[in-house]
Amino acid sequence: MDLEILKKKYNLESIKTSKEELEKRMENAHNTGEDMSQLSIDLTYFSNLYYNILKIYEYIDKYQQAKEILNDSEDPEYKELANQEIEEVINNIAEVEKEIRKIQVNRKFHDEDDSRNVILEIRAGAGGEEASLFASNLFNMYKTYSINKGWDVQIIDSNVSEAGGYKEVIAHISGKNVYRNLKYESGVHRVQRVPTTEASGRIHTSTASVAIMPEAKDIDIEINPEDLRIDVMRASGAGGQCVNRTDSAVRITHLPTGIVVSCQETKHQAQNKEKAMANLRSRLYDRKKSEEDAKRSDMRSSQIGSASRAEKIRTYNFPQNRITDHRVKKSWHSIESIMLGDLEQLIEDVREGIQSEMLKNEQ
């Protein structure tokens, strides 16, 4: 291991200087008018970088001490311990370098929308009732994952099938870094399994589409009230007391784009209108963001998958207990726990895989 090359690669003093400068700027931000949120992001990056590089320097000291023992001592037992120390230090440095790489990649692919809440939209695709049941499974998977992360999940609109699944479900998920965690989940999800209604045991293939849209704020999208047609109606339901007996359901049509949103989840028309408008803003923001991305795209996204709703991104194979993400060509053999919301590792693997491919395509 060449220690000089390692020290040149990770210049501790340079990173420390950057960190300290940012700390001073944060202290004076109220006087200078600098963007606190951006300073905070930059400071977090350099702080994480500094503490990890500091670890490398500590390991370098241990490596040098073990080398001295190896070279100076005649005691076989000391030499063996020194060799073990050197091997352990080399492994530890490799792990820290992985963490540094992850920090650098995350900064390179930081999206200004990463900290936003999202609108989650799941629609049943090919496969009839089985597709609606799969859509319901996906929604419950994301819902449980979100609750485990401490996020809040509120259904905006839904359309339940006869089998009890979802033909369509739209939800608002709020919390810390929701979009960053879920943004690569958009696309067509395919399931291969034996439906509960299948007497012969034949495996069926069904699909459901997932869309993850960053929540838009009023300042992101300006909507002219004259461009809206707002209809109110009686909410549909399962009957009896479940049916809303007042005209509280709201449907909004954005005339310039033809986008239609609706909400009937509460008994209050004003609340339903507010939720529907939040959905509309996010759809328009997502549309605007996609158009801007397309303009400045250098084709790198098309080489690894653009997270388009029309693109098949993942297959859930129940008979083989396997989930495969086709964009990163990776499989996980824990389908039951993943469907119960244990998504952390899968999401991390997909993000790292997609970003690694992007980096390769840039080189």
Q: What is the CATH number of domain 114-215+298-363?
A: 3.30.70.1660
Q: How far apart are CA 184 and CA 180, in angstroms?
A: 8
Q: For all residues of the chain together, what is the average pLDDT?
A: 87
- Residue indicated by tokens 């963007």: 35
Cβ–Cβ < 8 Å for 41, 111: no
Question: pLDDT digit string (tens) for 250-303?
Answer: 999 999 999 999 998 888 899 999 999 999 999 999 988 888 766 644 433 443
Q: How far apart are CA 160 and CA 76, in angstroms?
A: 73
Indicate the angle between helix axes 76-108 and 344-362, nearest 10 degrees: 80
Q: How far is CA 237 from the centre of its chain?
A: 33
Q: 361 falls in which pLDDT band (50, 70, 90)?
A: low
- Note if the pTM is more than 0.85: no
Q: How far apart are CA 252 and CA 261, in angstroms?
A: 5
Query: What is the identity of the amino acid at 218?
Result: D
Helices (H) and strands (E) in the chain, counts: 11, 11
- Extents of the domains making up the chain: 3-108, 114-215+298-363, 221-296
Token duo for residue 185: 């989940």
Instruction: Please report how many Cα atoms fall inside a 13 Å half-sphere around the Cα of residue 184, on the Cβ side.
Output: 24
Quickly name the fold that domain 221-296 has. Double Stranded RNA Binding Domain (3.30.160)
DSSP assignment of 268-326 equals -HHHHHHHHHHHHHHHHHHHHHHHHHHHH--SHHHHH----TTSEEEEEETTTTEEEET
Name which of 23-27, 141-145, 220-224 the model is least confident about.
Answer: 220-224
What average pLDDT does this structure show over 338-345? 96
Q: How far apart are CA 138 and CA 208, in angstroms?
A: 8
Q: Which CATH class is domain 3-108?
A: mainly alpha
Q: CB under 8 Å to 266, separation ≥6 — which residues? A: 248, 272, 275
Question: pLDDT digit string (tens) for 164-209?
Answer: 999 999 999 999 999 999 999 999 999 999 987 776 788 999 999 9
